[in-house]
Chain A
């Protein structure tokens, strides 16, 4: 016999016959997991059909090798037999199989423990969907309320920040974000200048590239790009940090100490972003404008002096302040959605991943919505 055939073994066989009140199950061949094993359904069907049967016996004289494959099959048979109240006489089985079967049936299955996978009716799904939605909404609103209260407590001096933690967070959300913010804002400045110059050259109004870049950066793109970078960088990392703490019961440990996780974890993160976002925004503005400067001076025959004068003459302080105000709001949005998703995180590795993803998505959606509101407001107020 060659090795392949040896490994494949003899096909597993099963047959049933009835002798008065005894059902006999004959097992033959090799019953190992790597074979194509017959399911228990055939035997279960026979058992269900056999009305007169009281006992179930086994004949294993032709049985070869066996492993868990045989045991799962026997458990299926066992269950079917129990349903019909047929007693099982396991003495025909090999010693080892008998012992393992006894172990597997020693602890009764926990009632209601198995997950029900059947689909609920449509109305029930709509109902539970609605309940889940309103629960999630109330959770979010509660969190927002708690975060606001915590911020107020800080402002009125009734909550305090731990210096060391805050410094670290400020460093992570500030200094460490500088390179990527620089890269992106220079590129955005370049792009604005390029696209604008093509149009403006048609009117011979290249000099207005400086206006376009400066006003575009200070009013919109500086705050926006910094916020989107920080949502992907810092918001996701807050969600993952807090989510992992949730998984490890670290947040529970804080609660049992009577330490409010909002004050302890969320507040310093909010403060770090509230402090750093305006600085990042200014930094992005300056680098974006210098990106435009490179294009203007390098490609459009504008002298550095002209570009500078044009920029200074047209950017108003209000444009700057508007961008900075936005960036503070965006910072709060990023910190809150990151921490909210982290705190809501379930207790598994997959849940941490989902929390990070959903923190970024939530933050970006709300950043864009808030930016839209700002656009409408500034239009009405004429800022």
Chain B
């Protein structure tokens, strides 16, 4: 029997009250994918992520983790399913009353039997991986927005989860750090075998790391393209997608 895919989304409809944000989203994230969720600002990418990580229940449709329907499971089981995931929130969402090191230590303390010294070493390692070595004892309010983003990334990786969700990891980073981050994401996939779902606008990283994607459109309120971003760029006939993937250049040429 083949392993069921880590994440399958079926006919997902997202709504705030009676306001429908996106409808009929169907896609599969395969093991080892770096899956890109893209689309214009405000089209519902972060909201889609909140549906995937169990924070907002769908108006209709299903989310399956390895064949198990997330939203039909009792809360205990949902927790179990989501224990294998790590999340970087769009605005970091670090615990502001703890230092960076304690932020990373918390999941480790919850789910492992490591000693305090070992946990501290792991936290230092994770911070070093995102370029924040030496910032262990800083509080989130004492570092810049881009640094908070990276610290959030370190926290998401704390337990070496099988599935990682990143909401705009490179927003607010300089080009070099952003490039290093892409390398780190590829490395996480290759060396740890993680499956990674990334929300991003950054074209350079979409093409550098993505091997599958969905494109959400705000106007038609559904996904209008999916697949490998490089192939999408070459083959898509849809003007909105084309325009997005070429930074609007194709539209400028057309007029």
**Chain A interface residues (CB < 8 Å from chain B):** 108, 110, 112, 162, 241, 244-245, 248-250, 252-260
Contacts and interface: CB of A to CB of B under 8 A. Distances in A.
Given A250-B94, A256-B54, A260-B79, 4 more contacts: A245-B96, A252-B55, A255-B55, A257-B107
A254 B50 CA distance: 13
A257 B110 contact: yes
B115 interface: no
Interface of B: 19, 42, 50, 53-55, 79-80, 82-83, 85, 87, 89, 91, 93-97, 106-107, 109-110, 155, 218-219
A247 B143 CA distance: 19
Given A256-B54, A256-B85, A258-B79, A250 B110 contact: no
A245 to B, nearest CB: 8
A253 B155 CA distance: 10
What 10 A-B pairs come out closest when comparing CB atoms?
A: A249-B93, A258-B79, A253-B93, A258-B83, A256-B87, A256-B53, A249-B89, A250-B95, A257-B107, A252-B55
A369 to B, nearest CB: 31
Given A253-B87, A256-B85, A108 B96 contact: no
Contacts, number: 51
Contacts of A162: 109
Given A112-B19, A257-B107, A257-B110, A252 B83 contact: no
Nearest to A244: B96
Contacts of B91: 248-249
9 contacts: A162-B109, A244-B96, A248-B96, A250-B95, A252-B50, A253-B87, A253-B95, A254-B95, A259-B107
Given A256-B55, A257-B110, A259-B110, A250 B219 contact: no
B54 A250 contact: no
A159 to B, nearest CB: 12
Contact of A108 (B19, B109, B219): B219
Contacts of B85: 256
Given A108-B219, A112-B19, A252 B89 contact: yes
Nearest to B102: A164
Contacts of A254: 95
Contacts of A249: 89, 91, 93
Contacts of B50: 252
